[in-house]
């Protein structure tokens, strides 16, 4: 392991906004903060928004700067990447940001029913050959449902047209989720307001894909039955 990585891992241990648990501590067991993130970490009753596979936490930090009355938690398994986001949030004294280092397969151990209001998934690995590893496969969506509040929204931003189309199909086939928006190229859609976070926040990976000339796609869907959502005008 490189010296820089070791230094980051050591520093991660000292960060008050970074929570880490070993596989054994959370496999089929609840993390001690499950159900009490607001009370014991943020000290308020604001909505909690997750970014799954947050990498360096650029989206988490950028959204947290834009919305101070929302609590953001970035989740990733890679400690050296999380180090960047956690460090920036501490340097800027951001009280509405935290990070969790874990495998997303174990996410249900961290959050109680209805504890989370929104999820952002930005540029996940498209996993063309392993459907079960896609963060928007039915297996993962079922995990998220265990802690999402009624009407919670999930955002997916990806350069992979295959993952975009796949997720759209998965959501449309479900009776417990409702597709709200499918945009195959966010930069071609002139109807978006300039301050829309879909446009204004760009991660490391998004910038790379834009340089390669790839269209950036976006999906927004919510928990809840499509028929009910239509009646309620969602
Ligand atoms: C392609 S990167 C995108 C990072 C960031 N969202 C961005 O746009 O710059 C995908 C990230 O997801 C994380 N990831 C993928 N599968 C994961 C899993 N099952 N559990 C935790 N993290 C995962 C990887 O470690 C990586 O940092």
Identify the pLDDT of residue 234: 31
Backbone angles phi, psi at 211, to 5 degrees: -60, -30
Residue 104 CA: nearest ligand 1 atom is: 20
Which among 4, 45, 76, 125 is annotated as catalytic? 125
Q: Could you give the strand order of the β-sheet that contains 177-183, starting from the edge strand earlier in sequence?
A: 18-20, 97-101, 71-76, 48-52, 116-122, 148-158, 217-223, 177-183
Identify the pLDDT of residue 3: 85
The residue ranges of the chain whose pLDDT is under 70 are: 189, 227-234
54: Cβ below 6 Å to ligand 1? yes
Helix (H, G, I), strand (E, B) or coil at 50: strand
126: Cβ below 6 Å to ligand 1? no
* CATH numbers and ranges of domains, the chain: 3-20+47-231 (3.40.50.150)
Identify the pLDDT of residue 232: 45
81 CA to middle of ligand 1, Å? Answer: 9
105: Cβ below 6 Å to ligand 1? yes
In tens, the pLDDT along 107-151 reads 999 999 999 999 999 999 999 999 999 999 999 999 999 999 999
Identify the pLDDT of residue 53: 97
Closest CA relative to residue 93, chosen from 40, 20, 16:
16
Whether 167 contacts 161, CB under 8 Å: no
130: Cβ below 6 Å to ligand 1? no
Q: By alpha-carbon position, which residue is closest to atom 14 of ligand 1?
A: 53
Identify the pLDDT of residue 2: 86
Q: By alpha-carbon position, which residue is closest to atom 16 of ligand 1?
A: 53
79: Cβ below 6 Å to ligand 1? no
Q: How far apart are CA 62 and CA 82, in angstroms?
A: 14
115: Cβ below 6 Å to ligand 1? no
Known active-site residue 183:
no
Give the C-alpha distances (Å, rounded to integers) separating 127 from 20, 21, 75, 141, 162.
25, 25, 18, 16, 10
101 CA to middle of ligand 1, Å? Answer: 11
Whether 136 contacts 121, CB under 8 Å: yes
22-48: buried (b, 16+ CB within 10 Å) or exposed (e) per residue?
A: eeeebeeeebebbbebbeebbeeebbb
Identify the pLDDT of residue 200: 86
Tokens 């796949």 locate to 166
Identify the pLDDT of residue 229: 55
Whether 154 contacts 183, CB under 8 Å: no
Residue 121 CA: nearest ligand 1 atom is: 6
Residue 76 CA: nearest ligand 1 atom is: 22
Residue 133 CA: nearest ligand 1 atom is: 19
Identify the pLDDT of residue 65: 96
Backbone angles phi, psi at 25, to 5 degrees: -65, -25
Structure tokens at 1: 């392991």
Identify the pLDDT of residue 191: 78
Q: By alpha-carbon position, which residue is closest to atom 12 of ligand 1?
A: 53
* pTM of the predicted protein model: 0.94
SS3 percent helix, strand, coil of the chain, rounded to 5, is 40, 20, 40
126 CA to middle of ligand 1, Å? Answer: 10
Task: Specify the DSSP class assigned to residue 234.
Answer: -
Q: How far apart are CA 75 and CA 206, in angstroms?
A: 18
């Amino acid at each position: 392991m490189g010296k820089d990585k070791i230094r980051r891992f050591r520093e991660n241990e000292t960060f008050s906004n970074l929570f880490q648990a070993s596989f054994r501590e959370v496999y089929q067991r609840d993390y001690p903060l499950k159900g009490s993130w607001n009370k014991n970490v943020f000290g308020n009753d604001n909505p909690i928004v997750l970014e799954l596979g947050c990498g360096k936490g650029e989206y988490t930090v950028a959204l947290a700067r834009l919305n101070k009355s929302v609590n953001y938690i970035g989740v990733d398994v890679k400690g050296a990447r999380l180090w960047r986001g956690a460090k920036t949030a501490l340097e800027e004294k951001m009280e509405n940001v935290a990070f969790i280092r874990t495998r997303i397969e174990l996410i249900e151990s961290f959050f109680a029913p209805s504890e989370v209001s929104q999820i952002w998934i930005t540029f996940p690995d498209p996993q063309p050959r392993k459907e079960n590893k896609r963060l928007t496969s039915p297996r993962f969506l079922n995990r998220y449902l265990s802690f999402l509040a009624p009407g919670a929204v999930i955002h997916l931003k990806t350069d992979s047209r295959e993952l975009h189309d796949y997720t759209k199909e998965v959501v449309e086939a479900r009776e417990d989720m409702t597709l709200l928006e499918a945009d195959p190229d966010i930069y071609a859609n002139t109807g978006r307001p300039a301050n829309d976070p879909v446009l204004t926040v760009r991660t490391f990976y998004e910038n790379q894909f834009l340089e390669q000339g790839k269209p950036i796609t976006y999906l927004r869907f919510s928990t809840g039955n499509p028929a009910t959502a239509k009646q309620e005008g969602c």
